[in-house]
Amino acid sequence: MAAKLIVGLGNPGPQYSWTRHNAGFMVLDRLSRLSGIPVARKAFSGLAGDGNWAGERLYLLKPQTFMNLSGRSVAEALRFYKLSLSDLIVIHDDLDIPFGKVRLKEGGGHGGHNGLRSLAQELGSPAYARVRIGIGRPVHGDVVNYVLANFAKAEMDAMLEVLDGALDALEMIIREGMPKAMSIFNGK
């Protein structure tokens, strides 16, 4: 059975739990609950778990290094499991996508996202699949404060649907491959 490393990006600690920058952690937590794969084992400078879902062996990882150093944790896990970048799927927030939209991408630049910048530095390449969770841009104000702020109440009310949409996209990537998943989810 093939295997995938699924990484949710975010910042550790309860003060960050509901922030926009933790959308990746939120998706991974939802996947953990629905699949029955606990993400609680301390490994790879993060919290890890493994099990089967959507017909695939999955290794789940929430780096606990803080966003800007996420690449260290991911590189460690890839080496340990002897997986390649084609086996990696990273879930993260994206300022350039309207709130609530889920978009898929393979490769590409970091777009100013420090977690993705760290991955590119540690992995030597951005050639992996991404599930991007739209958080929108602030109308005015600082981007750093915006991503580290909690979701607004109206956004939180919509998050369950957003998380489930991200899981639908992830399942399609695993079952049908990235090209088909991109053709369906990037058109919504």
> Which active-site residues does the annotation give?
21
Paired tokens of 98: 């309207």
Q: Give the whole-angstrom CA distance, residue 20 versus residue 146.
A: 8
DSSP character string of 26-91? HHHHHHHHHHT----EEETTEEEEEEEETTEEEEEEEE-S-GGGHHHHHHHHHHHHT--GGGEEEE
Tell me the residue length of the chain. 188
Q: Give the whole-angstrom CA distance, residue 57 versus residue 50.
A: 7
SS3 125: coil
